[in-house]
Amino acid sequence: MSRYTRRAFGQAAAGAIGAFGAAPQLFAAADAKASPAAPLAVPDLPALGSRTPLVGNLAAGVLEEAARATPIVEECDVIVCGAGPAGIAAAINAARAGAKTRLLEVHGCLGGVWTAGALTWILDYANKPGLMAEIVRHLQQRHAVAHKGSVAYDVEQMKLLLEELVSAVGVCVQYHTRVVGAIKDDKNRLSVVVTESKSGRQAWRAKTFVDCTGDGDLAALAGCGFDYGSPDGGLAQPMSLMALLTGLNADEVTPFTRELAESGGWAGPKDRLKAEMEKGGNSPSYAKPTMFHLREDLFALMANHEYGVSSMDAGQMTAATMRARAEIHRLVNGLRGLGGVWSKVKIVATGEQIGVREGRRIRGLYEVSTNDLAIGARHKDAVCRVTFGIDVHSTDPTKTKGIEAKPVKSRPYDIPYRALVAKDVDGLLLAGRCISGDFIAHSSYRVTGNSVALGEAAGAAAAVSALAGTTPRETDFETIRPTWTKLQFAQAMKA
């Protein structure tokens, strides 16, 4: 790369992903290295990676850390924590509504379960206008969606598209950064989040925050009340590690593939795939293993359940991830051993992040309930119409390793804005699977088409309240509605 292009790229990247303060200096330093004749532009940069050692006392099995000063590295209107389907939508809409917006994400890509989790399948998207429809349209134009009318997408194309979308509207992103702390002011309003990353410990101030961490990490750190798991037993739905497969011929494996097989139900292909796995010597921990066709010879596989694992326990999640990865390799090796249509099947990748169906359900001003599903609830401040039904993956493998019986018949229902407003802390909105709802309702609204819609509403609300100097609790939805509606009819990025 020439010196000119390298600088131009550095400036473009710093502007596009909004790297603050030091980034242009870092690029200047890189230039200087590339050309020995150039003077060193920033001789006072601290040695890369240098850190102030921690001070503390070890007492009775605990480390008591001494107080330390953490730099406030940025002040914004809106900070969105977590960049899954809900987080990207919240950040994009907040920025489009005119708010200076920062998006913090622990992984090295946008999309959450869509990408780091290699999910590949978008449910409940068809009645969602706005960003959800725009994402699908862009994927179709890039030939990154498998079938017309359904949304099985190419994970790498999704990563790239989401980065282009957030850059197009000026969202500032920082990857590899985990939110680990939250500070409130004396009026119980969230005002600063603290992160840990390779840059050390950093503090970020904003007028309004949106928790899109899936597990409700930010809200819990800020002291919000929450519920977890089923009312009987307290266990959450099982996790699943996704895998991408190649070496298959779509025509040959049609009978085993969701959407390719006969119309009128998914049970057939799932049951046939399970029978093949068992013929190969392994019974999958998920009794309804599913194969999705993504493009040409690229497929996705969901065949694993990790029961009784808490997303709030890193040790449990590590063990579950290792068990799941080993199981997927056993299952695919077993299929390959059968020969025939499976003779060349290979794993391209497993999810970098095991798929977490359920974490904390943060208490909001309204709790979406099972009864809402039963009656098909309607609300004046509705921000999302859910059409996906109840879908509880078994919490108890001794009863079933598939899907639990539905306690009620559900009808399409609304999620009101109030379910996105944290009850116990001001200045905080929720979007995605951590919004306020009960165990059964969560199993229905958690899918990604709804997460995007909820993120869009939270992003618009966050921007409106931040720019007006109020809190989401004080902001009546009728004040937010014009911004939210306008964004649903505009494009974030030209095709």
> In the bound complex, what is the minimum distance in angstroms from residue 220's beta carbon to ligand FAD?
10
Minimum gap (Å) between residue 292 Cβ and ligand FAD: 8
Q: How far is the CB of 35 from ligand FAD (least distance, A)?
A: 37
Number of CB atoms found within 10 A of residue 409's CB = 9
Q: Does 257 bind ligand FAD (CB under 6 A)?
A: no
Among 157, 191, 208, 240, binds ligand FAD (CB under 6 A): 240
Task: Determine if residue 305 is left, alpha or beta; phi over 0 gives left, psi from -120 to 50 gives alpha, anything else beta.
Answer: beta
Q: How far is the CB of 147 from ligand FAD (least distance, A)?
A: 14
Comparing CB distances to ligand FAD, the nearer of 119 and 429 is 119
- The window from 30-38, 53-61, 103-111, 160-168 that contacts ligand FAD (CB under 6 A) reads 103-111
Cα–Cα distance between 203 and 221 in angstroms, integer? 14
Q: Is 214 in the site for ligand FAD (CB under 6 A)?
A: yes
Looking at 355-363, 412-420, 461-469, 479-487, which segment touches ligand FAD (CB under 6 A)?
355-363
Q: Where do we find the tokens 């097989």?
A: 261
212 binds ligand FAD (CB under 6 A): yes
CB of 468 to ligand FAD, least distance (A): 26
> What is the smallest separation between the CB atom of 337 and ligand FAD, expressed in angstroms?
26
Contact track, ligand FAD, 163-182, x by CB under 6 A: ---------------xx---
Site string for ligand FAD, 58-97 (x = CB under 6 A): -----------------------xxxxxxx----------
* Nearer of residues 119 and 467 to ligand FAD, judged by Cβ: 119
Residue 181: CB minimum distance to ligand FAD, A = 10
For residue 113, state whether it binds ligand FAD (rule: CB under 6 A): yes
Residues of this chain, 120-159, that bind ligand FAD according to CB under 6 A: 121-123
Q: Which stretch binds ligand FAD (CB under 6 A): 8-16, 113-121, 222-230, 456-464?
A: 113-121
Q: Is 306 in the site for ligand FAD (CB under 6 A)?
A: no
Nearest alpha carbon to residue 418 among 477, 357, 359? 477
- Spatial neighbors of 11 by CB under 8 A, at least 6 apart, are 24, 27
Half-sphere exposure of 315 (CA within 13 A, CB side): 0
Measured from the CB atom, the residue of 10 and 289 that comes closer to ligand FAD is: 289
Spatial neighbors of 66 by CB under 8 A, at least 6 apart, are 54, 55, 56, 57
Report which DSSP code applies to 175: -
* 171 token code pair: 């969202």
Which two three-digit tokens encode residue 242? 């996704």
Q: How far apart are CA 288 and CA 277, in angstroms?
A: 11
CA–CA distance from 268 to each of 250, 260, 278, 285, 335 (Å)? 17, 11, 15, 18, 18
CA 350-355-357 angle, to 5 degrees, is 160
**What 3-state DSSP class applies to 67?**
coil
Strand 361-362 and strand 298-302: the pairing is unpaired
Tell me the CA distances in angstroms from 93 to 98, 168, 489, one per residue in order.
9, 12, 12
Asked if 162 contacts 110 with a C-beta cutoff of 8 angstroms, the reply is yes
Return the residue matching tokens 């899918």: 447
Q: What is the closest distance, in whole angstroms, from the C-beta atom of residue 388 to ligand FAD in the complex?
A: 8
Neighbours of 166 (CB within 10 A): 26
Tell me phi and psi for residue 104, to 5 degrees.
-110, 130
Q: Choose which of 174, 410, 448, 465 interacts with ligand FAD (CB under 6 A).
A: 448
- Only one of the segments 59-67, 160-168, 214-222, 326-334 lies at the binding site for ligand FAD (rule: CB under 6 A); that segment is 214-222
Q: Pattern 387-416, binding to ligand FAD, x per CB under 6 A?
A: ------------------------------
> Whose Cβ is closer to ligand FAD: residue 105's or residue 467's?
105
Q: How many residues bind ligand FAD (CB under 6 A)?
A: 37
Instruction: Indicate the residue among 100 and 102 with the shorter CB distance to ligand FAD.
Output: 102
Closest CA relative to residue 101, chosen from 172, 177, 176: 172
Beta-bridge partner residues of 258? 292
216 lies in the binding site for ligand FAD (CB under 6 A):
no
Please give the C-alpha separations between residue 69 and each of 33, 54, 203, 249, 307, in angstroms, as whole numbers: 32, 11, 10, 58, 41
- Residue (450 or 465) nearer to ligand FAD, CB: 450
Q: In terms of Cα–Cα distance, which of 29, 34, 38 is closest to 2? A: 34
Tell me the pairing of strands 190-197 and 178-184: antiparallel
Nearest distance in Å: CB 311, ligand FAD: 9
Closest to ligand FAD by CB, 150 or 254:
150
Separation of alpha carbons 130 and 133, rounded Å: 6
In whole angstroms, how close is the CB of 15 to ligand FAD at the nearest point?
23
Q: Is there binding between residue 28 and ligand FAD (CB under 6 A)?
A: no
Q: Report the nearest approach of ligand FAD to the CB of residue 323 (Å).
A: 15
Q: State the residues that interact with ligand FAD by CB under 6 A.
A: 81-87, 104-107, 112-113, 116, 119, 121-123, 178-179, 212-215, 217, 240, 302, 355-357, 432-433, 446-449, 451
